[in-house]
Structure 1
Amino acid sequence: MKILIADDHDLVRDTVVAFLDREADLELSSCESLGAALAMIEEAGPFDLVLLDYSMPEMNGLEGLERAMAANGGMPVAIMSGTAPRAVAQDALDQGAAGFLPKTMGAKSLVNAVRFMMAGEIYAPVKFMTEVVEEEEHELAKKLTERELEVLQGLCQGLSNKEIARDTGLQEVTIKLHVKTLCRKLDAKNRTQAAVTAKDAGLF
């Protein structure tokens, strides 16, 4: 059975491959981005299972999941993450993901989850999915002003500065300043990374 593992962190990718490589009947392929994964699916797929890192390049939240599911011809595609909250996991499952795998899983649990999904079942760790979430202001949101949150939401929607300015009634130059401040507060190199950080944290 063929499995594709896509993760931009070499250590994580190599560890997952090592865990699964012990299974004699599994043929493993790996890559470091969504674009590379889609190319491999087109060239060598469909795969019996595709595992995608939620935060790797080009994923753009769960859009990458949809693209991979379409490319893999109805065969199972699952999300892996070490930081995504329960809300993201639930959204992924609602969109048709075969499962959600926390990167904290041990080798035996990972193998069991993979075989479960390849058998056509949906996998999600019960403890993670039923964990009580406190109804308090999001930690990330506490760092930002109301206006900055509006601009950040626009970034998460893929809007340009001009479009965000139109929606908020602000000048485009003001939006540029807010984007610069957001990148600093979120420790992001650019607007795309700021949006990914917000989505990964479940803010939007």
Structure 2
Amino acid sequence: MPTGVSMSQALRVLLVCPTGLLRETIVDGLEGSVREVRCVDTLRELVPETDVGFDVGLYVAPETRGVLAAQDADLLKGVGAHNWLVLSDQRDNPIYTRLMRDQMPACAVPLEVSRRELPHLVVLATRSRRFCIRAHCDACPSSPVQSTVGATLNDQQWQLMRYLSEGLSNKEIARIERCTESNVKVRVRGLLDRIHVTNRTQAAVMAARAGLSYDRRQGSQAY
């Protein structure tokens, strides 16, 4: 990765979404956060010789896309995308179902996900973290994390939230904090218990919704 370029800014994303306002909204949400977004209506539009090497395939699968999604499901294995992020309010949609059946790295999030969350979720998907966040999930509230957990977090726990927002592993956090992985593991477990979620991906989504981030290049943080 080039010096001075964050992980998300180096990513190539394949966006499969019908032309329209929803596609424009997603592209706007990713603009400036990834290197390239290749947009197609269906997987049949891809050119095998040139449309390769995507870090993430972002497939938008609303209920109305049933027939097209079923057709695209048959083409998934031939697509040059290493990981998939499926936006759908139906967990059993044809795309996600096929990805799970073929044991391909896949994550699913509801269509209502905000533009601010998308770059964080894309990074999590590239790290082959499988997760499925259902719409209106209690563990991923739409309200900012500050109003959810308020002053119950100390400075170290807020910093952990920033690390998790970028999908950092325990090993990576330990290297930054100059401590042991076991120490980080205990701290992360304590954080998850404190904010009442069951895994670090849910915590990452909460952090993203609160606008928390961590810049690996400078070790900086933002609200």
State the TM-score, normalizing by the size of structure 1.
0.50
Instruction: Give the helix-richer structure, 1 or 2.
Output: 1
Q: Which has the larger radius of gyration?
A: 1
